[in-house]
Structure 1
Amino acid sequence: MVDFHAYARDVLAFVEAHAHYAPYIGFLLAFCESLPIVSLFVPGTFVLLGLSPVIAAGGVPFLPVWAATVTGAVLGDSVSFWIGFHLKGSARQRWPLNRFSEALARGEHFFLRYGTLGVFFGRFSGPLRPFVPLAAGMFAMPISRFQMVNLTSAMLWALLMLGPGAAAVKALGY
């Protein structure tokens, strides 16, 4: 079993010692957090929330880290969408997705119930995040609409993940 707290401490300690890697870490965490199954093993949200005060205290500019985090989230969701689009209904039977049938069913239900808004709001729910784009692809949501919602939700999500901690550090004068 992965010790997520130890993992998070190690990543944060690494960024504290090597702040110039913060955009790459933000990209990687957001990308992995958006992939079905992979997201279950990467505590991206937890680490991103802890990353923001560390980068602010280390003098790393906010914009590059935010942009890299947005890019990782958009690309991760795009990969999930692409997998769903190409597998369609057979995704339910394909390994390793068939091992997570409940999570996939929740993503499908959320997407079918809320459509475009489901893609937007699914980004803000950890358990749904990687499975809603997969479902959007499975049900052939138009790619232009998906990407528009994907980008706007990723921009807001990254701001909410990174902004409060960075703002708090600035307000405290560190």
Structure 2
Amino acid sequence: MNDPGSVFNPELVIMYGGITILCITIFSETGLFFCFFFPGDSLVFTAGVLTETGILPYPWWLAALLMIASAIIGNMVGYWFGRRTGSLLMTRRDSIFFRKEYVTAAENFYGRYGGMALVLGRFLPVIRTFAPIVAGVIKLPFRRFFFYSSIGAALWVVPLTLAGNLLGRIQFVKDYLGYIIIAMVIGITSPVLIRLMKENRKAKKKNEKIN
């Protein structure tokens, strides 16, 4: 399979780390705020491809179930972190692992979509990590949180894993997997992230006028 360059390679992560590292990575990206940069989308899709090629020796549906469970547990950790100490995040200094604008983006997204932010946010890097934390900060009832989180995890993992499994039967996909993953992630996330950035700028301007 083709390596697109010196970037985080999800294929190598799964090949050498197996299902254990795969699930730990999914858990971390969806539950730990400082792991927001982990490539969740590409890992899930690549896992589907590798279940077809045999590098990941599990049926695609079993790999999907394990990733869904990891994503839900990760969200629960993020939720409880937000509920207990999440408000302290805004007092932290910006760093390479954290910026206040990430929390603000998640708050704006949540304010617009409510509980559905936990479903829609699954498909957006950064939002995927911080939406559960915001849900904890605003003390969304746990049952409601768990409901939306579970639906979001299933809708995120199953289509990507199944698509990877089906497309993994095509030689072209096997040969150029790295490039396909990059194109897929950019195509899915760019329009929404651009829109969120515009909304955040508008919100900042409104706050500046008020102040």
Per the shorter chain, which TM-score range? 0.7 to 0.9
- Aligned equivalents of 1:162, 1:137: Cα separation in 2: 28
Aligned to 1:141, the other structure's residue is in SS state coil
Aligned length: 163
Q: Is the deviation greater in 45-54 or in 106-115?
A: 45-54
Alignment root-mean-square deviation, CA? 2.5
Q: Is the deviation greater in 110-119 or in 70-79?
A: 110-119
Deviations 1:104-155 (A, max 9, x none): 1101111122111112111111121011111111001000000011111101
Match of 1:18 in 2: none
| TM-score of the two chains, using structure 2 as the length reference | 0.68
Report percent identity of matched pairs: 22
1:11 matched to 2:43? The reply is no
Residue pair 2:64, 2:157 contacting (<8 A) in 1 also: yes
| TM-score of the two chains, using structure 1 as the length reference | 0.82
Moved over 3 A (4+): 94-99, 169-172
Residue pair 2:89, 2:100 contacting (<8 A) in 1 also: no
Match of 2:78 in 1: 80
Decide which structure has the larger Cα Rg and report it.
Answer: 2
- Aligned equivalents of 1:30, 1:123: Cα separation in 2: 11
Aligned to 2:168, the other structure's residue is in SS state helix
Aligned to 2:62, the other structure's residue is in SS state helix
Residue pair 1:26, 1:68 contacting (<8 A) in 2 also: no
Question: Structure 1 residues 91 and 51, CA, compared in 2 at 3 Å: closer, same or farther?
Answer: same
- Aligned equivalents of 2:106, 2:39: Cα separation in 1: 19
- 1:84 Cα deviation (Å)? 0.7
1:26 matched to 2:30? The reply is no
1:91 matched to 2:89? The reply is yes
Structure 2: gaps of 5 or more residues: 1-5, 175-211
Structure 1: gaps of 5 or more residues: 16-20
* Matched AA of 2:7: F
- Aligned equivalents of 1:152, 1:142: Cα separation in 2: 16
Q: Is the deviation greater in 67-76 or in 88-97?
A: 88-97
